[in-house]
Homo-oligomer: A and B are copies of this chain.
Amino acid sequence: MAKAKSALTCGCPVAAFQKMISGKYKLRIVWDLKDGPRRYGEIRTGLLRGSDGSSEIAPRVLSRELKALTESGLIDRRDYGLVPPKVEYRLTRKGKSFVPVIAAIRDWGARHLAQANPVEMIAAE
């Protein structure tokens, strides 16, 4: 069995998953978007909060992550095409289906990675 073995799916969804969420912000972006559409600047600001204070996020980086996520089909880009520009990103159906997975990751992380005080971290959001 398991005749399907193309390079992308590679018989191992995990590899594809890793590629899809590679990058420091992709997971967090999807997570932040779970509450509804957000504008570019909002995402950017949201990522700074909670980050390890590593200055700012290069627009180039965020832009690429966003584009990658769009091409992955997790998020959708809506350009209102006006001046000043207004662009919103929102989760696609696929993206929404992915949220529980991130929740599982967060939950596990809160239990096993947070030596600090897990309770507060869970209550954090």
A positions within 8 Å CB-CB of B: 1-18, 20-21, 24, 27-28, 31, 50-53, 94, 97-98, 100-102, 104-106, 108-117, 120-121, 123-125
* Contact (Cβ within 8 A) A2 B123: yes
Give, as a whole number of angstroms, the nearest-CB distance from A75 to chain B. 14
Q: Give the residues in chain B near A98, CB-CB below 8 Å.
A: 108, 112
Give, as a whole number of angstroms, the nearest-CB distance from A70 to chain B. 15
Q: How many copies does the complex hold?
A: 2
Most chain B CB within a 10 A radius of its CB, from A14, A17, A100, A121: A14
Q: Give the residues in chain B near A12, CB-CB below 8 Å.
A: 28, 50-51
Give, as a whole number of angstroms, the nearest-CB distance from A46 to chain B. 11
Partner of A18, one of B5, B27, B124, B125: B27
* Contact (Cβ within 8 A) B123 A1: yes
* Contact (Cβ within 8 A) A121 B14: no
Partner of A116, one of B6, B14, B113, B114: B6
* Contact (Cβ within 8 A) B50 A11: yes
Q: Give the residues in chain B near A2, CB-CB below 8 Å.
A: 120-121, 123-125
